[in-house]
Structure 1
Amino acid sequence: MKAASLRLLLSPLILIAASCGGSSAGDSAAHAEPSGAAHAQGFTVTPIAAFDEPWAMTFIPGTPYALITEKPGRLKLWQMNGPTREVAGVPRVAYGGQGGLADVQLAPDFAHSGTIYLSYAEAGSGGSGGALARARLVLGLGAPRLDGLQVIWRQQPKVSGELQYALRIAFSPDGKYLFVSSGDRFHPAHAQDFTSNLGKILRLLPDGSPAPGNPFASRGGVAAQFWTLGHRNPLGLKFDAAGRLWGLEHGPAGGDELNLIEPGKNYGWPIVSNGDNYDGTPIPRHSTHPEFAAPVVSWNPVIAPGDFIFCRGDKFPQWRGQALIAGLKTESLIRVAFDGVHAREVGRTSFGHRLREIVEGADGSMWILEDGPGGRLLRLDPHSG
């Protein structure tokens, strides 16, 4: 699809949204005064809309729209000051526990192809597992829909339980490669198993096939997908301005991690961790096994990260270059500053709600999704006085 064609498809929908005005029932959120903690740190917080267990968000460049996933299995097309519309054609998801509809990302060539990528949990023989699909987003006078949906990758094997899918999506800065985080599904041994793609970060081509030159390609099978191994539940996956890939990972009882993701490295789970098992039994620390890649930052107690971004815009100059982490357990926005490949936490702001997702708008404003039923979409702006 050419860029001009995409604009023509979007234009009628923009007109419809403008004529309707306001948000659709159930998706509005009353404006509220910013929290004292936010105000003290120089920004305001404005509730904009509300969703049912929102999980991920991505803006559509050049339009007033964003796509927002809801974990029970709905994809929403949201517009400021306009109706929120449900996108038809979303695959059926295995909803429950930590499973459901997960990440959404635009293809690097979205302006021409209209292609988007969705990750989600699906049921099947042996239990459930994560899947990655791509489809063309069609916007016009009718309801928005997905056409030509194609499943291009799956977690292998499907296992019992509803935990630790991960399923974050990131494209390389040059748009050539598709990275996917695959959690261990609460079956830790898979993270070190070369016949399973659980507990790994994968590097794929945009069609879902293994990327040429992957470090374990000579082993064949699913190992040809691996970029790194030894992961537990990596819920954040982002490139920094220098093109380095970083992963943000849940530990067990303690030991959440920020990792520099480098090809062929083993991050040690479940052999090492800076946390302990849930029953209190210890796990050897990273310092005892230098053959494994150690985290750049680890947290005890946990922060339970939902996702993170690198701040790149000018609206919050004091944050530029920092990682901004949406904290679930901490109910906080956590900031991490970098000196090359070294990092440290430099601040956190309490929001009083579990935070699932954070994205940066084209104008540099920050947008946060709260976790859970009725999770609000919040806009952060610099405090003007």
Structure 2
Amino acid sequence: MQTEQNGNDNSETESAEWLGDSFYFPLPETQGDPIESEELTFYVQTVAEDLGVPWGMAFLPDGHVLISQRNGTLHLIRDGEVLDTPVANVPEVWARGQGGLLDMTLHPDYEENGWIYMSYSKPGDGGANTAVIRTRLNPDAPALEDIEELYVGTPFSGRGQHFGGRIAFDPEGYLYFSIGDRGEMETAQDLTKSNGSVIRLNDDGSIPEDNPFVGREGLDEIYTYGLRNIQGMDVHPETGKIWTNEHGPRGGDEINVHSAGANYGWPEITYGINYNGTIITEETEREGMEQPVTYWDPSIAPSGLTFVTSDRYPGWQGDILNGALAFQLISRVEVDGTDFQSEERILEGIGRIRDIEEAPDGYIYFTNESNGTLSRIIPIQD
């Protein structure tokens, strides 16, 4: 399955005349307080407020921005302003615990087909699990149209945690999304269940013939497994590989690179312990199970993840930015290939950063669920 990549391709971004200094939101008339980091001086501009508990975001090429709210509300931002009326026809969500309306991403050929992909916790017999739909937006209503359900994880659970829900397309146009272990850790090693895995589908929801478990024991849709609760996902701008971060228990948050059929070990291996201090396992390594690029101990509770490709951030190009919930900051991780090099922590204490994205205008945006805002990082040029 081949489609043209439409993501963080810097050549496309720089050639778009509409970018200028800003596209989605006007630049402030006065610069904010400068913040010094190791490679860059910048300030933060809050561009939208009163977003409740914002989860995911999608930047449309016509200038609209979509923001999902965990309670099931979908906000549309037009001309830099949040519309008073939420987007209609959002599916019913199981808005309990960590469940709700989750991530969004655009089809690589969005400008031709208009498909928007969304994840959410779907209610049903036994509780809920993560589901993915694709839909189109009527911005004038505003409302979702042409909704197609592509996948629903199994089994359902009444537990309120670990839905995963991050979504990404690779350069070949395959759809990937995460489903957490739903608080039942043993399911992450069970290939007959979708929990604790990354799912890989064609853009229409069908299963690619070259998925690693097709024709073998287990679910054909599973791409990787042994995962606890992936909260950040992006595609490496050069290799096209899926990179993720995930929540460990008490310690053991990880960054991973995904390869077909790989087992990431949860809960057979981990660098964390139970929240009550008891041991999950003494093992941190085992043959046949992948090691993370890096891990955090203590846990920062990583959330959104994005690779920096924009020319606006020359000191950060190629680095990973992770939001953090528990530590309320942004973590900048420098890697060389798949080797960890260093970490810098910025904006410490700013609030629970849920999502972070590099938008088509070249700016980095992040949602803050502590105060219900959308903000962007604006570099200060020398």
TM-score range, shorter chain: 0.7 to 0.9
Return the letter of the residue paired with 2:76. Answer: L
Q: Which amino acid aligns with 2:234?
A: K
SS of alignment partner, residue 171 of structure 2:
coil
SS in 1 for 2:176: strand
Equivalents in 2 of 1:186, 1:45: separation in Å?
36
- 1:287, 1:301 → 2: CA distance? 15
Contact 2:137 2:143 survives alignment (8 Å) = yes
* In structure 1, C-alpha distance between the alignment counterparts of 2:34 and 2:145, rounded to whole Å: 42
- Among 195, 204, 210, the residue aligned to 1:213: 210
Aligned residues: 352
Match of 2:87 in 1: 87
- Please name the residue that 1:65 is paired with: 64
List aligned pairs for 1:288-367, cutoff 5 A.
288-349=285-346, 350-367=348-365
Q: Is the 8 A contact 1:156 1:196 kept in 2?
A: yes
Q: Deviations over 1:297-344 (max 9, x none)?
A: 000011101111000110010000000111111111111111111123
State the SS of the aligned residue for 2:112: helix
Residue 171 of structure 1 is aligned with which of 169, 172, 177?
169
Counterpart residue identity of residue 113, structure 1: N
Q: CA deviation at 1:217?
A: 1.2
Cα distance change on mapping 1:256 and 1:343 into 2, 3 Å: same
Which residue in 1 is equivalent to 2:21? Answer: none
Residue 193 of structure 1: aligned partner = 190
Aligned to 2:22: none
1:286 deviates by 5.3
Moved more, 273-282 or 246-255: 273-282
Superposed, 1:34-73 pairs within 5 Å as 34=33, 41-50=40-49, 51-61=51-61, 63-73=62-72
Check the 8 A contact 1:202/1:225 in 2, yes or no. Answer: yes
Question: 1:262 corresponds to which residue?
Answer: 259
CA distance in 1, matches of 2:299, 2:69: 25
Report 1:153-168 matches (<5 A): 153-168=151-166
The amino acid of 1:60's aligned partner reads: L
In structure 2, relative to structure 1, the CA distance for the partners of 1:34 and 1:53 (3 Å cut) is: farther
1:279-294 matched pairs, under 5 angstroms = 279-284=276-281, 287-294=284-291
1:119 pairs with 2:116: no
Distance in 2 between the 1:35 and 1:100 partners? Answer: 36
User: Aligned residues: percent identity?
Assistant: 36
Q: Residue 369 of structure 1 corresponds to which residue in structure 2?
A: 367
After superposition, what is the alpha-carbon deviation per residue over 1:181-232, rounded to whole angstroms, capped at 9, x for unaligned? 1100001111011211000111111122222111111236x61011111000
- What is residue 28 of structure 1 aligned with on the other side? none
Report the equivalent of 1:130: 130
CA contact (8 A) 1:87 1:144 kept: yes
- 1:379 counterpart = 2:376: yes
CA contact (8 A) 2:199 2:224 kept: yes
CA contact (8 A) 1:332 1:352 kept: yes
* Separation in 2, partners of 1:212, 1:107: 20
Name the structure, 1 or 2, with higher relative contact order (CA <8 Å, separation 6+).
2
Residue in 2 aligned with 1:230? 226
In the aligned structure 2, how far is the partner of 1:83 from the partner of 1:281? 46
- Structure 1 residue 169, shift from structure 2 partner: 0.7
After superposing the two structures, state which structure 1 stretch, 343-352 or 262-271, moved more: 343-352
Structure 1: gaps spanning 5 or more residues: 1-21, 24-30
SS at the partner of 1:147?
strand
Alignment partner, residue 97 of structure 2: 97
The verdict on how the C-alpha distance between 1:100 and 1:35 changes in structure 2, with shifts beyond 3 A counting, is: farther
Specify the SS of the correspondent of 2:90: coil
Change (3 A) 1:134 1:38: same
Partner of 2:10: none
The answer to whether the 8 Å contact 1:114/1:138 transfers is no
Give the CA deviation at 1:281: 1.6
AA aligned opposite 1:65: H
CA gap 1:193/1:316 in 2 versus in 1, 3 angstroms: same
Contact 1:39 1:383 (8 Å CA) reproduced: no
Structure 1 equivalent of residue 19 of structure 2: none
Contact 1:88 1:144 in 2 (8 A): yes
Q: Aligned partner of 1:212: which letter?
A: E
8 A contact 1:34–1:46 mirrored in 2: no
How far apart in 2 are the matches of 1:339 and 1:284? 30
**Kept after mapping to 2: 8 A contact 1:32/1:47:** no
One-letter code aligned to 1:167: G
Output the aligned Cα RMSD: 2.2
Q: Is the 8 A contact 2:154 2:195 kept in 1?
A: yes
Give the partner amino acid of 1:240: H
**1:203 partner letter:** R
Equivalent-residue separation in structure 1 for 2:320 and 2:211 (angstroms):
27
The alpha-carbon distance between structure 1 residues 248 and 40, as it changes in their structure 2 partners (threshold 3 A), is closer
Conserved? CA contact 1:35–1:351, under 8 Å: no
Structure 1 position 39, deviation (Å)? 11
> What secondary structure sits across from 1:118 in the alignment?
strand
1:60 Cα offset (Å): 0.6
Q: Considering fraction of residues, name the structure with more helix.
A: 1
Q: Which segment is superposed worse, 37-46 or 235-244?
A: 37-46
Q: What CA deviation, in whole Å up to 9, does each residue of 1:35-93 have, x standing for no partner?
A: 756699500001111111000111112x2211110111111111343342521111010
For normalisation by structure 1, the TM-score amounts to 0.86
Which range moves more in the overlay, 127-136 or 280-289? 280-289
